[in-house]
Amino acid sequence: MNKQIFRLAIPNILSNLSVPLLSSVDTAVVGHLDKVSYLGAIAIGSMIFNFVYWAFGFLRMGTTGLTAQSFGKKSEQDQILILVRSIILALSAALLIILLQSLIKKVSFYLIDANYEVEFYAKEYFDIRIYAAPATLALYAFHGWFLGMQNAKYPLILAFFVNAANIFFNLLFIYQFDMKSDGVALGTVIAQYMGLMLAVFLYLKKYSDLKNFLIKNKILDLEPIKKFFKLNFDIFIRTLCLIFTFSFFTAESAEYNQNILAVNTILLQLWMILSYGVDGFAFASESLVGKYFGAGDKQNLTKVIKLSFVWALLLGFLLSITYWLFGKEILMLYTDKTELINLALTFFIWTIIAPLINSFSYIWDGIYIGAVATKPMRNSMLISTLLIFLPFYLLTKDIFGNHALWGAMLFFMAARGITLTLLSKKYIFNRMNLT
């Protein structure tokens, strides 16, 4: 079982780590430019697109769970139908985003209180990156489908290709053409479309035979579509809460001052390194839990759950030790500004603690997605956001300032892990009455 987990987890870890690597390169490059406002603009622009794109995270998560279960049942027809429906939904959503871009932009910058210069560059970033929407959302669907098909190699290839292209174009536009945050946005757009073309090529290379199982008039069958949308609506609500929390975090950071915004942006990158690393095991859980639920294999299902937690917690522990021993050296990779490094060290304790706490919620997410148990995921996130994160911060911010913001984020993560653990008996283990 460990072999199966690592066969999926290692490519996923490498794939996921390439995402914060890209963000880290962007942050490091922009952090060394002459104005701190460029870094703030990237933070706010990325936050807006996190809000927009993460809202459609169900295109990956829902697709993975459903595809994995159809893989376990050996239903080729369901496999290809799920992919087609996901792609149609992704492109439809992207078209809607582009049509509503003026409204999204107006509302976003109304809610964000940043200084004029940061807002100016963030708007410039937004106006360019919005046109990556079709490629970005279609890649979500392909990524989730490949994982559901127990194929972690293709998402790894896609992630490295897209992020390598992104880094190349960002460096090219900034250093060769003297662009700033707008160069980062343009590099992202080009890389996303190149990635989509590669995804189509990879599908045709290995799975083109599945088109023989596609019955076109079944694409719009009512019952599977209702199931697809119900599942994805729960994930949508769950993801909106997650996006709100991170967006609120960035918006509150901007309200303090641009140095706090820059420092919190850097530290949040270190949190993301953990999430994307542990998510490698979470994605493996999605694929394997879904497969064994579909196949009705209770024994292997239990093994996957136990071993996923063991490896994720070990990775979290190692990352905490690394942050504790090399915190200052790591921060120096992101910026050469002494005042930002010293300020970041003031809040670094939260980054050291985070890996040990956050690992639980990430693995539970993978398990619930594989089991297609999305209602408790939604409920857990609502509780953690509305009853833990917001009250903690609002009640303590006048006393502890930015420490309150980081404390609220850590308690938010802990609450997710605790609630999903409490709900697991009903929604996971009691459903293991399988053959």
Amino acid identity for residue 135 in this structure = A
Q: What is the pLDDT of residues 351-364, one digit of tens each?
A: 999 998 998 898 99
Tell me which H or E stretch contains 187: helix 181-207
User: CA 105, CA 359: separation in Å to the nearest integer?
Assistant: 34
As for how many domains the chain has, the answer is 1
CB-based contacts of 392, cutoff 8 Å, min separation 6: 404, 407, 408, 411, 412
CA-based nearest residue to 330, from 345, 313, 349, 316: 345
CA-based nearest residue to 186, from 166, 160, 206, 211: 166
**Helices 116-129 and 101-111, axial angle in degrees (round to 10):** 160
Residue 426 structure tokens: 């009903």
CA-based nearest residue to 365, from 353, 378, 377: 377
Q: How far is CA 400 from CA 391, 405, 407, in A?
A: 14, 8, 9
3-state secondary structure of 37: helix
Cβ atoms 314, 11 nearer than 8 A: no
Direct distance between the N- and C-terminal alpha carbons of the chain, in angstroms, rounded to an integer: 19
The DSSP letter of residue 176 is I
pLDDT for 337 equals 83
Cβ atoms 319, 355 nearer than 8 A: yes
User: CA 131, CA 97: separation in Å to the nearest integer?
Assistant: 9
CA-based nearest residue to 73, from 142, 153, 3, 148: 148
Q: How far is CA 332 from CA 46, 319, 328, 338, 352, in A?
A: 22, 17, 6, 9, 16
Residue 73 structure tokens: 């049942």
The DSSP letter of residue 221 is -
Q: How far is CA 45 from CA 202, 232, 247, 308, in A?
A: 31, 26, 11, 34
Range of the domain at 162: 2-431
pLDDT for 435 equals 42
Q: In the chain, which residues have pLDDT < 70?
A: 1-3, 7, 9, 12, 14-38, 113-115, 213-219, 221-222, 432-435
3-state secondary structure of 150: coil
Residue 154 structure tokens: 């293709």
C-alpha torsion 162→167→169→175, nearest 10: 180
Residue 39 structure tokens: 């870094």
The DSSP letter of residue 433 is -
The radius of gyration computed from the CA coordinates of the chain, to the nearest angstrom, equals 21
